[in-house]
Amino acid sequence: MDRDDRVETLSEAECLHLLRTVPIGRVVYTEHALPAVLPVAFEVAPDDRLILGLRAGSSLSRALDGTVAAFQADLLDPVSRSGWSVLVHGRAEVVRDEAEYRRLLRSGPQPWIGGGQQRMFVRITPELVSGRRLLTAGQTLHRA
Amino acid sequence: MDRDDRVETLSEAECLHLLRTVPIGRVVYTEHALPAVLPVAFEVAPDDRLILGLRAGSSLSRALDGTVAAFQADLLDPVSRSGWSVLVHGRAEVVRDEAEYRRLLRSGPQPWIGGGQQRMFVRITPELVSGRRLLTAGQTLHRA
């Protein structure tokens, strides 16, 4: 259909692959009963769960812990109007396991802000993963 | 305070100024009872209202029309870990006024996808505007 000629729906595997190529995404949470969006450093673990790197004691970690969160990342080129956007929904929880925490301190994502301060990590277990690739005019869709 | 030494809270005027420097933001809306996030081309009008450029008939415009929406934009440098992020909450409505619509067709934002197809515009009237600037280590805060 003409209206879809520049949008390609991505598979979950493609989404997770693309998420691994960028260091920062945006987490959506509720603050004062309103949706809030904040950029956050993250990584996709080998088991496909997202690990967000935060400062210890941030209000964001309190807002996220135990909730179903939305997490979005994209890579967009405003000139060619191409790129991709991926959205993940899943349960968020602060990493409390001591061994896991120590491992993440060594190799996990550095918080975007507060470098050098005490860190914490929030894990998001993906339940819904969706994404789309936006193609420039003249590009064709590659479907397996 | 140490924990805030790299985060500067922005005034509403600064937020609106920064929003005028980027062509794309992310709108947060509700889809299937879950928060969804989608990149969208936008402009800040002289009256400080946001104008989003969309394809006609998009499900996004239907989801936004008449709701209180959240809109986020940022400019982030992963290498220096500096940049800014701005969040706007406000009522969203499809532009239905014929004269306004025709004016936006001439000079309003081009939709990110579906160029050349029929266009529509959603206007967000800011009610809450908040933002933060993230400074690289060594930068100092400039406060008036």
Contacts of B128 (CB under 8 A, 6+ apart): A34, B87, B88, B89, B90
Is pLDDT above 50 for A1?
A: no
Supply the CATH number for residue A103's domain.
2.30.110.10
Report yes or no on B142 lying in a domain: no
ipTM: 0.85
- What pLDDT is recorded for position B32? 84
Is pLDDT above 90 for A136?
A: no
Contacts of B34 (CB under 8 A, 6+ apart): A68, A70, A89, A128
Report yes or no on B119 lying in a domain: yes
Report yes or no on B144 lying in a domain: no
Number of domains in chain B: 1
Report yes or no on A54 lying in a domain: yes
Report yes or no on A19 lying in a domain: yes
Residues of B in contact with A6 (CB under 8 A): 113-115
Report yes or no on A142 lying in a domain: no
Pick the residue of B24, B77, B112, B117 with the most A CBs within 10 A to test the interface with A by mutation.
B112
Chain A, residues 3-32, CB within 8 A of chain B, namely 3, 6-7, 23-24, 26, 28
Biggest CA-to-CA distance, chain A = 53
Report yes or no on B143 lying in a domain: no
Using CB atoms, pick whichever of A68, A85, A112 lies closest to residue B81.
Answer: A112
Which domain covers residue A16, as residue numbers?
A: 2-134
Report yes or no on A21 lying in a domain: yes
A7-60: per-residue pLDDT in tens? Answer: 899 999 999 999 999 999 999 998 888 899 999 999 999 999 999 999 888 888
Query: Cα B30–B71–A73 angle (5° rounding)?
Result: 80
Amino acid at A29: Y
Q: What is the mean pLDDT of residues B65-91?
A: 92
On whether the CB atoms of residues B132 and B10 are closer than 8 A, the answer is yes
Q: What element of type H or E holds A66?
A: none
Is pLDDT above 50 for A143?
A: no
Chain-centroid distance of CA B87 in Å reads 7
Residues of B in contact with A112 (CB under 8 A): 76, 81, 134
- What pLDDT is recorded for position A55? 87
What percentage of chain A carries pLDDT values higher than 70? 88
What percentage of chain B carries pLDDT values higher than 90? 67
